[in-house]
Amino acid sequence: DLVIVLSISIPIAAGWAQHRALLNRQMRWRTLRANMLISQVIALCVAVTIAGATDYGYWALAAGMLSQHSVAFILGWAVMDWRPSRVTDWAGVRSALTFGANLTVFTFANWLNRNLDNALIGWRWGAGELGFYTRAYQLIKLPLTLISGPITGAVIPSLSRMQDKQERWRARILEAMSAVFLVAYALTTFMVATSDALVLLVFGAAWSKSADILLVLLFAMYVANVANVTGWIYITLGNTKRMAIWGGIRLPITVVGIIIGLPYGAVGVAAGFAGAALVSLIPCVMFAVYGTPLSAYSVLRSAGGPATISIAAALAGRAMGNPAGAQDSAQAILSILVAGGISGLLYLMGLGVLFLVDENMRISQARLLRLAGDRLKRRPGGLKGGKAD
């Protein structure tokens, strides 16, 4: 019954999907964030009120979720003037449907790529081992959630408008990729240096096995950050068919890696996942850049320097901070401060040296900082209208 009720949220969310897409295309991110915040606050109030005033239990959470989607739907229609109408350009519709269908195929393949490891661990080793793995996986998603996701929402609409200006598109996408790598690898540096203490502090001593899994998965993140931004190439140039094909190519590589590691438990699966990601890195980049103004070398070069500095800084901070030696929360906090601080300082120093020797990176990051400064000085737009906010 609960699943049936929660399924009502699917058509509600789909009902304002076009409005959300148009707001994103117009780069009205403040409006989108306001929608998200308001709907979540109302959902929380509804769930807490029902839970406190009744004995409905988990149905309070269901009511909160439905409230969130409903409020987001209403606000989406209120702030965006677009309304459904009769189709007059079927050629455009067919093009959009083809684009979306290919993207759906890739999304499904990517979902399998990200979830088969969970299914196989649960099947072979049971809920206990799966619990250790999912806790570790939950933490490694942090760099992607905090960095790649928000930046992707800003980059794709901007770059999509430059499809016919190849040199400008090439320069801007390399700048955006470089910015993602610098920030994502900074967070990865911190997490590699402090992984054991971080697991102890967040989950407790009973989950110590997750620390070994987390450390292995974190090294896979160096590859995953590169693979994720190749999606920008496909989408902003309209090459979602190639994107879907690559999803089909990558999936069996991941499956083989997971199966090889499966006999060795969750740590083995993590190692197999990381190995598969590493094996598919160069083919992934080469397949994405084929027929575009980008070269595989330029993409890998923008990631290689920060990744190398990150790994060296993280291992040094880990050696000095000894996160594996923490026995309680107080020691974990101290280890995080020492290991995280040392690794962060070394990472920044390494980037400083990199900027001195790499003029292109220095120029591109200086330009991004100027653009960010200019953006902060702009007067915020309103909730309505077509201007970016």
Taking only the tens place, the pLDDT of each residue in 297-311 is 999 999 999 999 999
For residue 239, CA distances in Å to 22, 247, 292 come to 20, 13, 10
Q: Please state the rounded mean pLDDT for residues 225-229.
A: 91
In the predicted structure, residue 370 carries a pLDDT above the cut 80 = no
In the predicted structure, residue 373 carries a pLDDT above the cut 50 = yes
DSSP 8-state code for residue 239: -
pLDDT for position 92: 63
In the predicted structure, residue 176 carries a pLDDT above the cut 90 = no
In the predicted structure, residue 371 carries a pLDDT above the cut 90 = no
Q: Is the dihedral of CA 276, 281, 283, 288 positive or negative?
A: positive
> From CA 79, how far away is CA 87, in angstroms rounded?
23
Alpha helices in the chain (DSSP H): 2-6, 9-15, 17-25, 29-53, 59-79, 90-125, 127-143, 149-160, 166-203, 209-236, 240-261, 265-289, 296-321, 329-357, 359-377
pLDDT tens per residue, range 21-76: 788 777 777 888 888 899 999 999 999 999 988 888 888 989 999 999 999 999 99
In the predicted structure, residue 148 carries a pLDDT above the cut 70 = no
Helices 265-289 & 90-125 angle (0-180, nearest 10): 160
Q: Do residues 271 and 264 make contact, with C-beta atoms less than 8 angstroms apart?
A: yes
Q: How many helices (H) and strands (E) does the chain have?
A: 15, 0
Residues 6+ apart with CB under 8 A from 61: 47, 51
Residue 340 corresponds to which amino acid? Answer: G
Residue of 179 and 288 predicted with greater confidence? 288
Residue 304 corresponds to which amino acid? Answer: G
Q: Do residues 238 and 163 make contact, with C-beta atoms less than 8 angstroms apart?
A: yes
Angle formed at CA 185 by CA 333 and CA 183, multiple of 5 degrees:
95
